[in-house]
Structure 1
Amino acid sequence: MVITDRELRWTGRLGSVVAALSALGLVAMLVAAAPGADAAGESESAITISWNGDTSSAAAFQPQRSPESIHFGDFDDLKVTVSKTKNLTDEVVGVTVTGMPGPTRQLNLGTGPVTVGANFVQAMQCWGDPAAADFYQNCQFGAAGYAASPQQASTFTQLGPAGSPVTRGGTEVDVPFRSADGTMYSSLPIGLGQPPAGVTRVDQLFAPTTSNEQLGLVGNDRTATFGFETQSAATAPHLNCGGSTAGGSNRCWLVVVPRGEHASTPTEKCQLPGLGIPEEQVAQLGSPVNPDCDYWANRVVVPLDFQPVRSACAAGSQEVRLVGTELAASAMSSWQRQLCSSAGTAFTLNTVADATARDQLVAGGSTFVMTNRPATAEGLDEEGAQQLRDAAIVYAPTTVSAVSIAFIASKERQVVTDIKLSPRLIAKMLTQSYGALGGGAFYRNIDPVPGWNTNPLYLSRDPEFTALNPNVPANMDQGQLIVTGPSGSDAISQVWAYLQADNDARAFLAGDADPWGMRINPYFLPKGAANAQVPTMQENTSPDRLSTSLDPVPGAFTKVGLIKPDGSPLCLCDTPMDTIGKSDDTLMPRVIQLQLNQTLRYDSLQAWPYAENYHQAASLVFRADTGSKTEWDGSYFNGPTVTPGRYRANGLSFPWDTYLNGLIDSPTALHYQLNQAQLQLPNQPGVFARPDETGMSRAVASAVATSTPGVSVVDPAKVGAGAYPLTLITYSAVNLQKSTPELRASYANFLEYVATSGQVSGTGIGELPPGYLPLDAAAIERTKAIAQTVRTYVPPPVGGEDDLESFVDGEGFAESFGDAADVPVLAAPGSAAETVIAKTDVDPGGKTENVANPVALALGCTLLLGLAGALGSPVLMRRRAVL
């Protein structure tokens, strides 16, 4: 565990904060972990619809096209292809629109020709009857709202919109949104008109950072290609796709509205151009869903059939709760429904911090845990060590997956799909050492801050990055790395082991400059190191009291840096870690404007926040959303006696000019159709590996045995060429001594499924989702043997001892997963004491009245556990010795 001076101040309230966030985020967390296509594959549900003269199965849902329309010539050849339309959950489907006009057009605005991006498409998810006259009210919009309000109008130019092309109504025209329960919501822009009495604003339902509306840009080939994030009723109850509440439907709609060479025919209630620009020269002012504009008549309607959100298992099914790593969540989400029918049991996975799961396993609070590391006596007090000795724990290989740096990247419409990263580059990102991604820019004009305040502003401007990626456009900006937290995990431990195995990364973490002079953010140095200091700042109010500024105190410095729980300096270069800190304590902005009611500053946790889990991280990357809340809204109402103003979400990056990374597991990255970076092997310049089948297979082949028989791990320091160093093997661990016969029978059924149908790769229900490597033959046989042992286990007589040697040393497993060798340096189990989630009591006789879809089953309980974390942590961690 890493503790800074600042963290000592807020660790005590962290549990309560996490609990509150977890409770508030319960619905948003319910993101399906795996594509829900049928076993035959998703290609069978793909569809192509022609804008004019369609003959597909969706022809009856398309509006009539009039040759007299000014848009007819723009879209006569247009076709929309969607990669998957059936068995949908919360996932990403591919959309391709062909036959559009070219990406730009030339306008003469009186000062010469101007190139504008006139042509694009808008894709929205809608519910209801597409033949209804008011169907337009049922569509979720507003994701591309780059200004203060998603309803603001703009001209869509090559430099990007001044406001947004996603205008719903006008400044005076209200085009309401109707939710699936019939409630009407006003879409009037903030500050422009007032909603009717008793009508709630639509931003209470969705906003630019939560809407799944997608803006598709047209390339030089007259094609727009993008991913569209379908949202089930679990994520968007106001659309109710999949029917989690009364009146819901398994069918919803993807509505694609093309925007071509011509603006709408002007009407009284359709947005009109301003600035004296002739209507025919304006690039697409107006709303795609305003019926008084004629864009809505150009829509293409695609049926989307969702899996039912309810009734994953029949009412009365036995429920067995499993605990463990999020790396297994995608597989569990796929396996769950098949297990309901084949085993008659609702298996649910409660994802918790890995060290906490192992503590529960040893103590018997949970008798089935999915883990990447075995439970050991390291860090346990005598009571805990005795419990471990008494426990009869067996480990069965379950899944193989990886942690990856998933990304989206583009510059001026050039999409980047392949990026290489070194351990040192990742170390720079994790320590917020780039100027614009930490406090470096704040101190940029203040001397001296040795090395740090001259660091590159962004990853893409780092000479090390450009040397590895010569084909990537320069200055893509951002490059922020979204990470999960503050919980600890074995996956994060694997990342730190990877960095510490590399000489260059280790030297950077210790404080050495890279060959171009870049140094680590001082906040991440060991406390007491020579450069672990920043200028001391003091508040100065302007004479006219219109602003206040943090200015340096001449010659004064404040000591910073990391410490261990015992108060000694902590170096990221060699300390086992299972968390990623946000230790930069810089308060920003440097100047606040009092006349705008700007009275507060924000810190790194607000500017570069954690994602709660891999799925939220992947969703943020997919949307080009950093999650930051650093834009000041001086008019926000805080109450009758409180000064108005707050920081609001920054919104989405421009889709044609963005670069965002996320530390995400490989199944979730593929689920969101994200690209994954190649990683350089430690101390092997020019040698890279990918998180694909080849990379993971080679990593598993080089896995080393731990001191626990039957459990091997991938050591990043020992992988060979082509082996992906962040590969992780997940085991199902069963505490035989603490479990009941009824639970052991259910566990055995689960393991037998894992070792058979559960290792068949595919996108169908019950299959192993993309991003997982199937277990090899030896590992499968071991899991089957463990399943049989679990089923037939008989506790020893009182005073007797379990003899587990016959099956923990199963034949063939060591050869498959690597010979015995030194175990890599990894975080001590339970070292992240601040990340504690409450103990789960497994109820062997539990019944489910109405089990939710795999989304809620696999991930939803994580939040409930987090809610109890503040109360449960003292009990769970009392057996851990203080290091």
Structure 2
Amino acid sequence: MRAYLLQRDPRPLLVSLIALLLAAGVMVLSPSAQAVDQSPARAAKPDFSQTKTLTRTFENADGTTYSFPSREVTVTADTTQDVRGRQRILISWTGAQPSGGRASNPYGENGLQQEYPVVIMQCRGIDDPSLPAAKQLSPSTCWTASVAQRSQISRTGAEASWTRDLLADPADRERVSGITPFPSADVCPTADIAPFFTRLTPFVAAKGTVFPACDAQHMPPEAAVGAAFPPNELAAFTDTDGRGSVQFEVRSDVENESLGCNDKVACSIVVIPIMGLSCAAPSVPATPADDACRKGGRFLPGSSNFANDGVDQAVSPALWWSASNWANRFSIPLTFGFPPDTCDVLDSRAPTGFYGSELLAQAALQWSPAYCLRKDRFKFQLNQMSDDAGWNLMEAGEGAAAEVSSEHELRGSDPVGYAPTAVTGFSIGYVIDRPDNQGEYTDLRMNARLVAKLMSQSYLGSDLGRGHPGMAGNPLGIMTDPEFVKLNPGLTQNAQEAGAALLSLSNSSDVIYQLTDWMAQDKDALAFLGGKPDPWGMVVNPAYRDIAIPTAEWPLLDSYVPQTENTCRQDNPAVYFSQLAAPVTTLRKIAEALLDAWPNVQTRCEFDLSTQLYKLGRIDRQSFGARFMMGVVSLGDVDRYGLRSAALEAASGSYVEPDDASLAAAVGLAKQQDRYGPFVLDQADVRRSKAAYPGTMVVYTAAKLRNLDQTSADKVAQFIRVSTTEGQRPGTGNGDLPGGFLPIRDSGVTAKLYASAQQVAAAIAAQKAAPSAPPSQGGVDNGGSTGGVTSPGGALPGEDVPSADPSSAVPSVPAVVAPVEMPQTQAIGSRTAGGLVPSLLLIGLLGIAIAGGLRFFVQPPRAPRGTA
């Protein structure tokens, strides 16, 4: 090799190396190179983190003390600022005492029969001694949904361990305690019955009402049986390593008026790792209460309490309010965002309505106050409806703009611009519990054929479905489908009706179109819908065979009514598979159904005593530990409500979850076919990618480029400019971009969206008039349209009408835009322009390097020295 190199002229190689070094320098200095990662991950640092050393201590009869080994516990919360009702916050902890006797359901009073859990609840007030007493939190401002969680009533001495609490005030060691004056027998007849012990932990409502919590009648109205919302407080399980985490759902005054948390009333999440009561010196002889206080638990760490057996009270969650446990609390202060009606309350101006996509809902919730609370901006209002309905209102001139996620048919002669406004999407949300009390399943994978099976109502649901012609041998639900089991092993195969359907939308939506387009690009899904059995013999519901996809509206085609001896069903004959599917009108309803594990299946039969008639309705919420439900949800709702999203199959065998990287990969595949038009994400391209998330969607602000009144045009242009600059700043505050959205930036993969948005905003603001028609040959009026949805003269609706001057059919971006009063936003630079010259230089240098290298290696050997 050395002889080979020595025989060649080194000058071409030197030129090549110099060119490569210069190219490297260009890459370092190039602005585009500095902005490769256009979608930085959300900050991993939690909003709250605190560590405490917790110790349980016993006082001996001689006055000495004995302390159990201390535990250093750390609690974190991922977000605490600008939270909203029903939002879930990730609470995590390490170092806690491992739990024993795990309950199947940790929520509300169902979680009481555990040992050493971590109690988590929402309380009004802040742990700040400098504040007035009314603004400080206390056990009386912490919410529980039942009496049993906050009061101990008429207990024997063996059940009164709190009376021996080392840290308790003397008054709390009395036979009756907790509230002064203590309720009379007229108010609480079972509370003061000697010789039994009672401890009441009253609840003080936001308006000052005191509920003594001595029975169900003396609890706040939100704690009633059958309340609108299930309990959010829980006694969470700590694993044998001392770790645990939960998604805690916060409630605003909209969901819980008695608790009263809002943007003006401060609240906290209180986390109490149960260590066990610290106990005062025992009496001589020791009393049953002394013995009860010193107990250490019946269950081994990590064990379950399926039988709901009794536990040792001193290490149970029932005494979270005791002095020993309360002293160990972690208090996580919360701030609440503005309520949804803020703009209506604080801004008397008439709103400017934008109509359409619900995918933008969570962003609009944060964006709206950033408009209505500033006089230099208009009062923005998103009116959620189907994409088609929003588009039609915009085209008819009844709305300033539409929010859509795909190209829609243009029925009038006025051109429409699509400004990319947000990158988000949909997911298959789910709540599924592992069997044997192992917690939630977190790794669901779904392919297009499985979704097609659900959408086509090809699972039987229950024995009622077995009589359906042409599919009697199909599984009852997806959980018993061998294809699903192969993808998601280890889950229960106990069939539920909810496992026979995917909760979806009943109306037209771009989301359904994108979902079914993904199905249409999968040969296995298409073959199944076409009548080909899957490898395990399952066949499509004959009512859906050869259904045309993609489609924006999924129909209910089945007509099977079961023949049964059930009196209720005989009195209420109905299409069974439509009752299983039971689609709803909004994505939010689906998200809330998943949040509550409450399928929309309409097969519950009950007898109405008032009418003496049977009726069918929605089935009950699923039991914790046996939940199995799936639905189509928006990524914005996934983030707010802490839902789980299935990984969807992109390229064969590659399952992709929604996150910034997978959304960015999908955006990279999207192409814009026409200036001012939308970007098309071809699912055929997604099927070839191993990184792109199939549920990615871009939301566009669509508005007329002609014949829109100038005031509305200026507002729409302002909205596009603000929403694509400061509106893309990730955060939870007013004007910020919430989770579930990929920020649009002026660089990286979303730069094309940003550039297009600015062009469309300028064109909307300009409202360039239609070009004048050329003089007619015979002086006949050509019946030109004035806009709206009127068809051009001589053309039928839906026909393509060529423009008299194609070059002027769509306005170009003007050099000077009509002035619009605009707030100051973040400085924006064009990285594309800034990187053009360096890019060209880089290409040239690389060309020189390659040429030099080729010349060096292909040149003929030099003649040896001294030869002719």
Equivalent residues of 1:231, 1:241 under 8 A apart:
yes
Q: How far apart in 2 are the matches of 1:709 and 1:277? A: 63
Match of 1:333 among 361, 365, 375: 365
Match of 2:251 among 209, 231, 237: 231
- Classify 1:51/1:616 alpha carbon distance in 2 versus 1 (closer, same or farther; 3 Å): farther
Q: TM-score, normalised by structure 1?
A: 0.62
Question: Does residue 1:777 correspond to 2:751, yes or no?
Answer: yes
Match of 2:75 among 73, 77, 80: 80
Q: Deviations over 1:819-847 (max 9, x none)?
A: xxxxxxxxxxxxxxxxxxxxxxxxxxxxx
Question: Does residue 1:362 correspond to 2:335, yes or no?
Answer: no
Q: 1:516 Cα deviation (Å)?
A: 0.3
Equivalent residues of 2:418, 2:703 under 8 A apart:
yes
Match of 1:121 among 118, 121, 130: 118
Equivalent residues of 2:355, 2:391 under 8 A apart:
no
Equivalent residues of 1:266, 1:293 under 8 A apart:
no
Match of 1:442 among 445, 449, 464: 464
Match of 2:240 among 205, 220, 224: 220
Q: 1:513 Cα deviation (Å)?
A: 1.8
- Classify 1:211/1:593 alpha carbon distance in 2 versus 1 (closer, same or farther; 3 Å): farther
- Classify 1:321/1:414 alpha carbon distance in 2 versus 1 (closer, same or farther; 3 Å): same
User: Partner amino acid for 2:477?
Assistant: Y
User: Partner amino acid for 1:517?
Assistant: G
SS state of the match for residue 453, structure 1? coil
Aligned twin of 2:207: 181
Match of 2:654 among 682, 687, 699: 687
SS state of the match for residue 772, structure 1? coil
Pairs within 5 Å for 1:773-852:
773-775=742-744, 776-795=750-769
- Classify 1:281/1:499 alpha carbon distance in 2 versus 1 (closer, same or farther; 3 Å): same
Q: TM-score, normalised by structure 2?
A: 0.63
Aligned twin of 1:24: none
Question: Does residue 1:431 correspond to 2:456, yes or no?
Answer: yes
Match of 2:682 among 695, 715, 725: 715
Equivalent residues of 1:74, 1:101 under 8 A apart:
no
SS state of the match for residue 195, structure 1? helix
Q: Deviations over 1:105-140 (max 9, x none)?
A: 599xxxxxxxx9534334222325776799545444
Aligned twin of 1:104: 100
Aligned twin of 1:395: 418
SS state of the match for residue 226, structure 1? strand
Q: How far apart in 2 are the matches of 1:771 and 1:255? A: 27
Q: How far apart in 2 are the matches of 1:323 and 1:698? A: 28
Aligned twin of 1:505: 525
Q: Deviations over 1:601-651 (max 9, x none)?
A: 8855665544553334334334433355656666x7x54x65699867523
Aligned-pair identity in percent equals 25
Equivalent residues of 1:208, 1:651 under 8 A apart:
no
SS state of the match for residue 321, structure 1? strand
Q: How far apart in 2 are the matches of 1:466 and 1:186? A: 51
Structure whose CA Rg is larger: 2
Q: Deviations over 1:495-518 (max 9, x none)?
A: 112212222112222333211011
Pairs within 5 Å for 1:246-395:
249-258=264-273, 287=318, 300-309=330-339, 311=342, 314-316=346-348, 319-340=351-372, 343-377=376-410, 385=411, 388-389=412-413, 391-395=414-418
Q: How far apart in 2 are the matches of 1:282 and 1:235? A: 32
Q: How far apart in 2 are the matches of 1:676 and 1:278? A: 35
Q: How far apart in 2 are the matches of 1:79 and 1:414? A: 22
- Classify 1:680/1:810 alpha carbon distance in 2 versus 1 (closer, same or farther; 3 Å): farther
Equivalent residues of 1:327, 1:665 under 8 A apart:
yes
Question: Does residue 1:751 correspond to 2:781, yes or no?
Answer: no
Aligned twin of 1:740: 709
Q: 1:71 Cα deviation (Å)?
A: 14
- Classify 1:76/1:591 alpha carbon distance in 2 versus 1 (closer, same or farther; 3 Å): farther
Q: How far apart in 2 are the matches of 1:604 and 1:261? A: 52
* Higher relative strand content: 1
- Classify 1:281/1:506 alpha carbon distance in 2 versus 1 (closer, same or farther; 3 Å): same
- Classify 1:773/1:299 alpha carbon distance in 2 versus 1 (closer, same or farther; 3 Å): closer
Q: How far apart in 1 are the matches of 2:683 and 2:102? A: 54
SS state of the match for residue 345, structure 1? coil
User: Partner amino acid for 1:620?
Assistant: A
SS state of the match for residue 519, structure 2? helix
Q: How far apart in 2 are the matches of 1:73 and 1:660? A: 44
Q: 1:330 Cα deviation (Å)?
A: 2.4
Aligned twin of 2:621: 651
Match of 1:671 among 637, 640, 661: 640
Q: 1:787 Cα deviation (Å)?
A: 1.5
User: Partner amino acid for 1:786?
Assistant: V
Residue segments in structure 2 that go unaligned for 5+ positions in a row? 1-40, 104-112, 128-132, 156-186, 192-199, 280-287, 299-306, 745-749, 773-783, 788-804, 814-868
User: Partner amino acid for 1:123?
Assistant: I
Equivalent residues of 1:253, 1:302 under 8 A apart:
yes
Question: Does residue 1:492 correspond to 2:492, yes or no?
Answer: no
- Classify 1:299/1:762 alpha carbon distance in 2 versus 1 (closer, same or farther; 3 Å): closer
- Classify 1:46/1:369 alpha carbon distance in 2 versus 1 (closer, same or farther; 3 Å): same
Q: How far apart in 2 are the matches of 1:101 and 1:171? A: 38
SS state of the match for residue 695, structure 1? helix
Match of 1:464 among 463, 483, 490: 483
- Classify 1:203/1:728 alpha carbon distance in 2 versus 1 (closer, same or farther; 3 Å): same
- Classify 1:259/1:588 alpha carbon distance in 2 versus 1 (closer, same or farther; 3 Å): farther
User: Partner amino acid for 2:266?
Assistant: R
Equivalent residues of 1:710, 1:808 under 8 A apart:
no
Equivalent residues of 1:408, 1:675 under 8 A apart:
yes
Q: How far apart in 2 are the matches of 1:580 and 1:748? A: 34
